[in-house]
Amino acid sequence: MICTSVPQALAGIPDGATLMVGGFGLVGIPENLILGLRETGVKNLTVISNNCGVDDWGLGLLLENRQIRKMVASYVGENKEFERQYLSGELEVELVPQGTLAERIRAGGAGIPAFYTPAGVGTPIAEGRETRVFNGKEYLLELGLKADYALVKAWRGDGLGNLQYRRTARNFNPMMAAAGRVTIAEVEQLVDIGAIDPDQVHTPSIYVQRIIQCDHHEKRIERRTVRKGAEL
Domain locations in the chain as residue ranges: 6-113+144-213
Alpha carbons 32 and 25: distance in angstroms, whole number? 16
Summarize pLDDT for 2-20 with one digit per residue, the tens. Answer: 999 999 999 999 999 999 9
224: pLDDT confidence band, cut at 50, 70 and 90? low
Taking 60 as the threshold, does the pLDDT of residue 100 lie above it? yes
pLDDT digits (tens, 9 = 90+) for 178-189: 999 999 999 999
> Could you tell me the pLDDT band of residue 161, with boundaries at 50, 70 and 90?
very high
Kindly state the percentage of the chain with pLDDT values over 90.
Answer: 70
User: Out of 1.10.540.10, 3.40.1080.10, 3.60.110.10, 3.40.50.620, which CATH number does the structure's domain 6-113+144-213 have?
Assistant: 3.40.1080.10
Q: What is the mean pLDDT of the segment spanning 128-151?
A: 96
What is the rounded distance in angstroms from the CA atom of residue 44 to the CA atom of residue 50? 19
pLDDT in tens, 104-125: 999 999 999 999 999 999 998 8
Mean pLDDT, residues 37-58 taken together: 89
Give pLDDT tens digits for 54-94.
877 888 899 989 999 999 999 877 778 888 888 898 899 99
C-beta separation of 150 from 179 below 8 A: yes
pLDDT at res. 232? 57
